[in-house]
Amino acid sequence: MMNPTLQVALGGAVGAVARHGVNRAALAAFGPGVPVATLAVNVAGSFLIGLLAVLLAGRGAAWSPLLMTGVLGGFTTFSAFSLDALGLWQRGQHAGAAAYVAVSVGLSLAAVAAGLSIGRGIAG
């Protein structure tokens, strides 16, 4: 198996490129006013980390650095989420900022739970 540090580096590159694609698609579809890309990436990343946590437990643990730390680490963007939320707040969109935080956290937690549940169903 590949060196774990190399796995993280390669996975991070894949995740970052995927993130860039989501950014471009969301900007084209929704414009710059609403941080849809960050929300979508955080929810998808939360689902995938829940799913992979189950599927990689034990027998697939060697893939964890590549997929969980690398790909998902490069793909998800909690720091961008924080910046987007603060930007909304600083622009005086207080209700929008609060809704964005609540929806992002709520959907991401639900996505992790769904990923875990589906992963457990697949793993048997």
Q: What is the structure's pLDDT at 105? A: 95
CB atoms within 10 A of CB 90: 10
Asked whether residue 56 carries a pLDDT value surpassing 80, the answer given is: yes
**Average model confidence (pLDDT) for the chain?**
94
pLDDT score of 124: 80
Judged against a pLDDT cut of 80, whether residue 54 lies above it is answered with: yes
pLDDT tens-place string over residues 20-44: 999 999 999 999 888 999 999 999 9
Q: How many domains does the chain have?
A: 1
Burial class, 48, CB count within 10 angstroms (exposed 0-12 / middle 13-18 / buried 19+): buried
Length of the chain (residues): 124
For residue 52, give the amino acid letter: L
Q: Is 115 helix (H, G, I), strand (E, B) or coil?
A: helix
Phi-psi region of 58 (alpha: psi -120 to 50; beta: other; left: phi over 0): left
Q: What pLDDT, on a 0 to 100 scale, did the predictor assign at position 77?
A: 80
Whole-number Å distance between alpha carbons of 47 and 113:
7
What 3-state DSSP class applies to 92? coil
The pLDDT score that the predictor gives to residue 62 is 92
| Phi, psi values for residue 29, rounded to 5° | -80, -40
The pLDDT value given to residue 58: 80
- Mean pLDDT over residues 10-18, rounded? 97
Its sign, for the CA torsion 59, 62, 64, 67, is negative
pLDDT at 79: 80
**Domain range for 64:** 4-123
pTM: 0.81
